[in-house]
């Protein structure tokens, strides 16, 4: 087996699906790998959900290293094409994109506090048939005293083509330094369709009538139920790096999404 480049320590992780495991076997037969905690770079095989899981694992750990994903899942928006030809050269030529995660400071109705990061979006969602009532504040200023809705979300540029797009939110260029604030099935105010705010903005959401109309907060794949308030900001203290083939760069993919029907 061969090492991957001179002195480079690379780890291989996979989602556990049959397709991802088959790809991992092919790569392990060709190259030497190190454990993720020893790596300078991680190769991740799976879909977008597994890429988010891998990035969250880095945020939870002591070291953050670049990740090169290859699609062995469904959509693979955050992944490169799975192919093994010129694999070392692909890693050498890969284009780096940095992403600052969001961080949510969450307080529940019982007074518990949680701090959760998110790479795609942080969303507030009603838990029952009752519509949620949410006060929306921007940099400490009340902009919407009462949004009656199924929910509301804050999306990063990297996450703007995910849940945000499904909720009719805007697609944000990767270098826009902006966040999308998007309501989910708003009832009142009827004509409010959301906002685009600078990424330095601090957003706060206060749940009204939370005992009668319970609301959960979801940071990517992690959920906290029965929330009273959620404060959201960009975490500038930590930065994630995703690696892409130059011909399949993330900024190009996001730009193309704006022209798809």
167 is in an annotated binding site: no
- CATH number, domain with residue 112: 2.60.200.30
211 is in an annotated binding site: no
Would 5 be classed as within a structural domain?
no
* pLDDT number for residue 101: 95
Same domain, 74 and 36: yes
150 is in an annotated binding site: yes
Same domain, 89 and 196: no
Biggest CA–CA distance in the chain, Å, is 63
Would 153 be classed as within a structural domain?
yes
* pLDDT number for residue 76: 81
Same domain, 145 and 95: no
pLDDT-based confidence at 61, cuts 50/70/90? confident
162 is in an annotated binding site: yes
The residue from 14, 40, 48, 60 that is catalytic is: 48
Same domain, 218 and 134: yes
Tracing tokens 């500038």 back to the chain, one arrives at: 236
Same domain, 169 and 51: no
Same domain, 166 and 190: yes
| Mean pLDDT of the chain, nearest integer | 92
166 is in an annotated binding site: yes
183 pairs with which residues across the strands? 152
* pLDDT number for residue 225: 98
Q: What is the pLDDT of residues 21-44, one digit of tens each?
A: 999 999 999 999 999 999 999 999
Q: Name which of 73-77, 158-162, 194-198 the model is least confident about.
A: 73-77
Q: What is the pLDDT of residues 93-142, one digit of tens each?
A: 999 998 899 999 999 999 999 999 999 999 999 999 999 999 999 999 99
User: Is residue 85 flagged as an active site residue?
Assistant: no
Would 66 be classed as within a structural domain?
yes
Taking alpha carbons only, the member of 92, 93, 39 closest to residue 64 is: 39
Same domain, 219 and 145: yes
Structural domain including 184 reads 102-234
Would 85 be classed as within a structural domain?
yes
* pLDDT number for residue 240: 95
Would 110 be classed as within a structural domain?
yes
Same domain, 66 and 117: no
Taking the C-alpha atoms of residue 50 and residue 24, their distance in angstroms, rounded to an integer, is 14
- CATH number, domain with residue 244: 3.40.50.10330
Taking the C-alpha atoms of residue 211 and residue 66, their distance in angstroms, rounded to an integer, is 43
Same domain, 201 and 160: yes
Same domain, 221 and 248: no
Question: Are 154 and 203 in contact, with CB atoms under 8 Å apart?
Answer: yes
Most confident range, picked from 57-71, 76-90, 125-139, 239-253: 125-139
* pLDDT number for residue 2: 59
* pLDDT number for residue 124: 98
Average pLDDT over residues 169-187: 93
Would 90 be classed as within a structural domain?
yes
Taking the C-alpha atoms of residue 242 and residue 257, their distance in angstroms, rounded to an integer, is 19
Same domain, 169 and 247: no
Q: Per the structure, how many domains does the chain have?
A: 2
Same domain, 197 and 148: yes
121 is in an annotated binding site: yes
């Amino acid at each position: 087996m061969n090492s991957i480049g001179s002195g480079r320590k690379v780890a291989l992780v996979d989602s556990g699906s049959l397709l991802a495991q088959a790809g991992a076997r092919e790569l392990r037969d060709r190259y030497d790998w190190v454990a993720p905690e020893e790596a300078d770079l991680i190769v991740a095989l799976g879909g977008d959900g597994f890429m988010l899981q891998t990035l969250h694992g880095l945020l939870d750990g002591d070291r953050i290293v670049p990740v090169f994903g290859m699609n062995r899942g469904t959509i693979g928006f955050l992944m490169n094409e799975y192919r093994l030809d010129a694999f070392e050269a692909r890693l050498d030529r890969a284009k780096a994109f940095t992403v600052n995660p969001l961080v949510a400071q969450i307080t529940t109705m019982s007074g518990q506090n949680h701090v959760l990061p998110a790479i795609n979006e942080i969303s507030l969602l009603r838990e029952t048939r009752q519509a949620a009532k949410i006060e929306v504040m921007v940099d400490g200023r009340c902009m919407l005293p009462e949004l009656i809705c199924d929910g509301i979300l804050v999306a990063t540029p990297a996450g703007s083509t995910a849940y945000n797009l499904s909720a009719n939110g805007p697609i944000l260029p990767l270098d826009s330094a902006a966040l999308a604030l998007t309501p989910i099935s708003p009832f009142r105010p009827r004509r409010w369709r959301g906002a685009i705010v600078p990424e330095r903005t601090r957003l706060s959401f206060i749940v009204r009538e939370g005992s009668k109309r319970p609301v959960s907060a979801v940071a990517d794949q992690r959920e906290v139920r029965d929330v009273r308030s959620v404060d959201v900001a960009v975490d500038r203290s930590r930065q994630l790096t995703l690696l892409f083939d130059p011909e399949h760069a993330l900024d190009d993919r996001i730009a193309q999404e704006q022209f798809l029907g």
